Chain A
Amino acid sequence: MNAQSRKNTALLVTIASLFCPSTAAAHLVTTGMGPVYDGIGHLLLTPEDLVPVLALALYAGLRGAVSGRRAMFLLPLAWFAGGLAGSTIGVDPLFPMSAISFIILGMLVAADLRMQDKTVAMLTVCLGLVHGFLNGAALRDGAGTLGLLGIMAIIFISVALASAFVVSLRRPWMRIAIRVAGSWICASGILMLGWMAKGHM
């Protein structure tokens, strides 16, 4: 086969492929992924939970490798413990906890506040217990304990990636960029509180 006939064949195949469209997915597909994947999806698609997790990971990363490692293990465990409690008790939150997490963690990242590793660990456990509790209550009639396992797994991965990324940053302006991101998280939290007060969330 010479060069010209190769080109012709390739063109023919290309044109033929244009006439073989796949089905357009215009509607939602039923997941069927199982409760573990539902838990993973829940965290990834819920900014109220995902952003505080990432904010904590950024802050732990700013505080160093020890804090990052502790957060990586403590946050999923605390989240799971809180989730089990939430799925048992199942109480609706009285306070806009997500907004408060946004504001506190965003401010900590923006200020790059020096804190002992133990204090960061305590903060991690508190965040895990509170958000886990809310997740447990929300997933009570849904994905349940298996869903919490999925959430645990994705939290572990997210914290590991985000905190390791921050720990690896050496240039000062990169750390400043992380602090700017913290100010954005805090600002979003303040606005979130406002929307909650207005009854839009």
Chain B
Amino acid sequence: MKDIRRSHGDLHFWILLLTIYILTYYPSSAFAHVERGQATGFVTGLQHPWSGLDHVLAMIAVGIWGAQLGSPAIWLLPVTFPMVMSMGAMMGLLGIPLPGIEIGIALSAILLGAMVFGELRPKLVIAAVMVGFFAVFHGHAHGTELPAGQSGLLYSMGFVIATGILHGMGITIGLINRWPAGKIALRGAGALITIMGVTFLWKALT
């Protein structure tokens, strides 16, 4: 028994030593200057969707609702969203005004949350149109916020990928729908998203 303990201790020692070695010989680049230029656009775009709770909740709600509706909505809604969202962003880039953007975003959280809460199953076309309609507001508000000096394409790619990851998170969460307790938990999450949407709407109106 003592021998086994000793050999385990040795193993831990060598693993620790190996870790120190790997960390020592794996230096990252020295960032001697302020970040700027093309490459940072991707990271900025990747980070941006996480900075707004309204966007995060709406994206996750799309994923959860898709999972509740099952195939083909589970993948059709997340495919529809980024494509229509980019059209909304393009409207913003071309200077086409969209009234009540913040209200539209708040309503997206309220209605998508309500859909999840009620486990509502409209026709696929209606679900896709509803998701697409709100995607325009999200795109118009968030897709055009490019910091100066960064690449528009890389920012856009990062932004779209991060939005897709949020949908993926929603779908993954939504997979608990197969269990009775999971169904209840998802409906609770839907209610929470709706309540948050109401607070966003309150802020937008006041």
Contact = CB atoms under 8 A, between A and B. Distances in A.
B93 interface: yes
Interface string B60-94: 00000000000000010011101101110110111
A175 B89 CA distance: 28
A49 to B, nearest CB: 11
B29 A25 contact: yes
Contacts of B78: 180, 183
Contacts of A198: 93-94, 152
Contacts, number: 110
Contacts of A11: 17
B94 A197 contact: yes
Q: Chain B interface secondary structure, helix, strand, loop or mixed?
A: helix
A182 to B, nearest CB: 8
A170 B32 CA distance: 47
A22 to B, nearest CB: 7
Contacts of A158: none
A194 B90 contact: yes
A84 interface: no
A22 B28 CA distance: 11
Interface residues of A, number: 37
A118 to B, nearest CB: 27
Interface string B88-109: 0110111000000000000000
Contacts of A24: 27, 29-30, 32
A192 interface: yes
A14 B21 contact: yes
Interface centre among A180, A183, A192, A196 (most CB of B within 10 A): A183
B151 interface: yes
Contacts of A179: 75, 79
A17 interface: yes
B146 interface: yes
Interface of A: 3, 7, 10-11, 14, 17-18, 21-22, 24-27, 47-48, 51, 110, 176, 179-180, 183-184, 186-198, 200-201
